């Protein structure tokens, strides 16, 4: 038996695929190889597989499938993935037969799987296991080796649109984004430009994003200077650095110089999230998270549309982790539609598809913008009808380039960073003015370990606990004690923890509320390991 299943632990296809200690994943990768081929035959399209554990520590690894348009695997196939990963070796072959039968898959039809991995040391052997699975069903394949997650999503979509979305190579990705960026920046002319050529410090989390952004920076160096730190040459992946560290710890990563008002961006381990930050003249840290990025980008797109004389249905999609102040700003000040969905890109992505322009961002920096074909048609119409000096036409051209700069398949640190840099330049604002759009409510995120996080059942976009029943009344009671209090808990789909989020009028109150709620989770949710302390 190839790649036997040597563990009894049940592994679930979670928020972003399978994710656990790398040494538990060999049989999972083999079976995901088989699953990807079946999915490819079923969809009659190329399917992607990304081997990554993103923001998790370097010892972890994971794997997720990418569907034909670069989107996350469809939920009904997530169930199949979980079944396949957990079935015993002796029942594997009959389970495959039953999937083929149930989904009426023509096993003789052609299939193609492309795959890549992040920089984790376990990646290459897991990649070999995946390949064995793919080969067991005689599928064609391409191993793209080390790429960012969003690059793989881009490649899947590009291949399945026969190059319409972009040239289906890693170089094609760099070329598409850099051409759009350079075009936009050569078009933007302000009478008084506050900064001619901006500079940004990038914290590459010691991961693959650092390698790829260096390639990108060479192509766009006429318009921006990108200096990369934590560039994977010596430091440990995600250790004291990266987007998740900055967001959760609310502090700067190690390894990046502290220069007041210098714009800094932190990527995560597979470069699908970005968080901005800067220091003021008192060396006080300020963070601009996914919510602030969404506010900036949505505002920029909305301005483009007004200037181009277009009315479009623009909406912003968030999760419960969005800071209350950001939701208020978007709805009350910007008068935009805002939707709240469960955590996980798949939920945000599908909700965003309901708008003509759907801006989605998780507070943790994961997000992008989706545009309906009708918007692109309207913009082309404006260009055709306008004269060359027509401001409507210029705005339409700019928005079309802004769309080309966007990786519409998934959140992308590099693309999102370049969108932010473009939006700042177009609006002629600096990081301080961007930060001043609204003031975040003080907040705190904690993690608590429980023996079995699957006992948690949630409702209302994961903001309320249905089971264990005793937890929600306690949370409500605690929240009512704090001015502007808000708190919720949910089991993570990528780590073996329950996450706790709290907001309140002061940082001390947010910290206390988070602590008190974490204690409730520990005591009523079957806590194990270290008991929370204040
Ligand atoms: C993944 C998902 C994100 C999610 C994050 C944390 O990100 O793609 O949508 O916000 O996990 O999820 P959870 O709270 O369930 O652990 P990444 O960057 O780790 O792949």
The C-alpha atoms of residue 358 and residue 361 are separated, in whole angstroms, by 10
Query: Quick check: is 410 in a domain?
Result: yes
277 and 299 housed in the same domain: no
Q: Is the C-beta atom of 345 inside 6 A of ligand 1?
A: yes
Q: Which residue has the tokens 């987007």?
A: 243
Quote the number of domains for the chain: 4
Asked if 222 is an active-site residue, the reply is no
242 and 310 housed in the same domain: no
Query: Quick check: is 213 in a domain?
Result: yes
Query: Which domain CATH number covers 466?
Result: 3.30.310.50
Query: Quick check: is 321 in a domain?
Result: yes
Query: Quick check: is 360 in a domain?
Result: yes
218 and 295 housed in the same domain: no
For the CA atoms of 122, 499, 365, 396, the dihedral, rounded to the nearest 10 degrees, stands at: 120
268 and 255 housed in the same domain: yes
Q: What is the pLDDT of residue 400?
A: 97
Query: Which domain CATH number covers 70?
Result: 3.40.120.10
The C-alpha atoms of residue 135 and residue 525 are separated, in whole angstroms, by 44
Determine which residue's CA is closest to atom 9 belonging to ligand 1: 344
The C-alpha atoms of residue 221 and residue 169 are separated, in whole angstroms, by 22
The C-alpha atoms of residue 526 and residue 534 are separated, in whole angstroms, by 19
199 and 273 housed in the same domain: yes
Q: Where are the alpha helices (DSSP H) in 428-529?
A: 431-435, 471-480, 507-524
341 and 310 housed in the same domain: yes
Tell me the CA–centroid distance for residue 17 and ligand 1, in Å: 10
Specify the ligand 1 atom closest to the Cα of 362.
Answer: 10
**What are 478's two structure tokens?**
């605690």
Determine which residue's CA is closest to atom 13 belonging to ligand 1: 492
313 and 244 housed in the same domain: no
The C-alpha atoms of residue 69 and residue 64 are separated, in whole angstroms, by 15
Tell me the CA–centroid distance for residue 56 and ligand 1, in Å: 10
Query: Quick check: is 160 in a domain?
Result: no
Of 458, 447, 467, nearest to 528 (Cα)?
A: 447
Write down which residue in 288, 317, 342 finishes a domain: 288
Write down which residue in 146, 165, 182 finishes a domain: 146
Q: What is the DSSP letter of 14?
A: B
Q: 26-43 and 123-136 helices cross at what angle (nearest 10)? A: 50
Is residue 22 a contact partner of residue 29, using CB atoms and an 8 Å limit?
no
Q: Of the residues 54, 127, 158, 413, which is catalytic?
A: 54
Which residue range(s) make up the domain with 85?
A: 18-146
494 and 512 housed in the same domain: yes
Query: Quick check: is 4 in a domain?
Result: no
Tell me the CA–centroid distance for residue 74 and ligand 1, in Å: 17
The C-alpha atoms of residue 102 and residue 255 are separated, in whole angstroms, by 53
Q: What is the DSSP letter of 73?
A: P
Of 72, 70, 63, nearest to 45 (Cα)?
A: 70
**What are 320's two structure tokens?**
């419960």
Query: Quick check: is 62 in a domain?
Result: yes
The C-alpha atoms of residue 50 and residue 152 are separated, in whole angstroms, by 7
Reported ipTM: 0.96
295 and 358 housed in the same domain: yes
121 and 32 housed in the same domain: yes
**What are 516's two structure tokens?**
């008190």
Q: Which residue has the tokens 């932190």?
A: 266
Mean pLDDT by groups of 10 residues along the chain of 534 residues: 91 94 98 98 98 97 98 96 98 98 97 98 98 98 98 98 98 98 88 70 98 98 97 96 97 97 98 98 97 98 95 97 97 97 95 98 98 96 81 94 98 98 95 97 96 95 96 98 97 94 98 98 94 92
Q: Is the C-beta atom of 16 inside 6 A of ligand 1?
A: yes
Specify the ligand 1 atom closest to the Cα of 493.
Answer: 15
Write down which residue in 146, 163, 187 finishes a domain: 146
Is residue 163 a contact partner of residue 79, using CB atoms and an 8 Å limit?
no
**490 among annotated binding-site residues:** yes
Is residue 276 a contact partner of residue 298, using CB atoms and an 8 Å limit?
no
140 and 199 housed in the same domain: no
The C-alpha atoms of residue 70 and residue 282 are separated, in whole angstroms, by 44
Q: Residue 103: exposed, middle, or buried by beta-carbon count in 10 A (0-12, 13-18, 19+)?
A: middle
277 and 300 housed in the same domain: no
Tell me the CA–centroid distance for residue 57 and ligand 1, in Å: 13
pTM: 0.96
Query: Quick check: is 420 in a domain?
Result: no
Q: Which of 20, 71, 366 to mutate to test the pocket of ligand 1 (most atoms within 8 A of CB)?
A: 366
């Amino acid at each position: 038996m190839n790649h036997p299943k040597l563990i009894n632990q049940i592994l679930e296809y979670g928020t972003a695929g399978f994710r656990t200690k790398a040494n538990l994943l060999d049989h999972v990768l083999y079976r995901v190889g088989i699953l990807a081929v079946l999915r490819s035959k079923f969809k009659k399209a190329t399917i992607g597989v990304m081997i990554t554990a993103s923001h998790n520590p370097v010892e972890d690894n994971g794997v997720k499938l990418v569907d034909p348009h670069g989107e996350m695997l469809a939920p009904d196939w997530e169930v199949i993935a979980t079944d396949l990963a957990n079935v015993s070796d002796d029942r594997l072959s009959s389970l495959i037969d039953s999937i083929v039968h149930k989904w009426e898959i023509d096993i003789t039809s052609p299939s193609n799987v492309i795959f890549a991995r992040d920089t984790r040391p376990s990646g290459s052997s897991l990649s070999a296991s995946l390949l064995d699975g793919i080969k067991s069903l005689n599928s064609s394949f391409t191993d793209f080796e080390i790429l960012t997650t969003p690059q793989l999503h881009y490649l899947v979509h590009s291949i399945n649109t026969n190059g319409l979305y972009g040239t289906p190579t890693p170089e094609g990705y760099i070329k598409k984004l850099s051409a759009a960026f350079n075009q936009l920046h050569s078009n933007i002319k302000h009478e008084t430009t506050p900064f001619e050529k901006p500079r940004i410090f990038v914290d590459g989390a010691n991961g693959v994003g650092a390698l790829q952004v260096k390639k990108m920076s060479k192509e766009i160096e006429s318009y921006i200077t990108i200096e990369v730190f934590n560039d994977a040459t010596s430091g440990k992946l995600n250790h004291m650095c990266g987007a998740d560290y900055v967001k959760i710890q609310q502090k700067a990563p190690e390894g990046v110089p502290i220069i007041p008002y210098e714009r800094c961006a932190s990527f995560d381990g597979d470069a699908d999230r970005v968080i901005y930050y800067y220091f003021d003249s008192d060396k006080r840290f300020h963070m601009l998270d996914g919510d602030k990025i969404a506010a900036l980008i949505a505002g920029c797109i909305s301005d483009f549309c007004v200037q181009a004389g277009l009315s479009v249905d623009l909406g912003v999609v968030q999760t419960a982790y969005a800071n209350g102040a950001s939701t208020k700003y978007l709805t009350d000040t910007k008068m935009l539609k805002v939707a709240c969905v469960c955590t996980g890109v798949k939920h945000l992505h599908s909700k965003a598809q309901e708008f003509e322009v759907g801006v989605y961002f998780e507070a943790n920096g994961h997000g992008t913008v989706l545009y309906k074909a009708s918007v692109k048609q309207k913009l082309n119409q404006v260009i055709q009808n306008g004269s060359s000096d027509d401001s409507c036409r210029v705005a339409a051209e700019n928005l079309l380039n802004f769309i080309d700069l966007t990786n519409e398949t998934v959140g992308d640190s590099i693309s999102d960073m370049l969108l932010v840099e473009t939006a700042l330049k177009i609006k002629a604002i600096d990081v301080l003015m961007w930060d001043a759009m609204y003031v975040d409510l003080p907040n705190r995120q904690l993690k608590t370990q429980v023996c079995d996080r699957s006992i948690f059942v949630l409702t209302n976009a994961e903001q309320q606990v249905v089971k264990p029943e005793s937890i929600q009344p306690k949370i409500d009671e605690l929240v009512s004690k704090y001015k502007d209090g808000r708190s919720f808990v949910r089991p993570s789909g990528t780590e073996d923890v329950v996450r706790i989020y709290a907001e309140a009028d002061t940082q001390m109150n947010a910290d206390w509320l988070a602590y008190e709620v974490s204690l409730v989770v520990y005591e009523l949710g079957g806590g194990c390991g270290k008991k929370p302390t204040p």
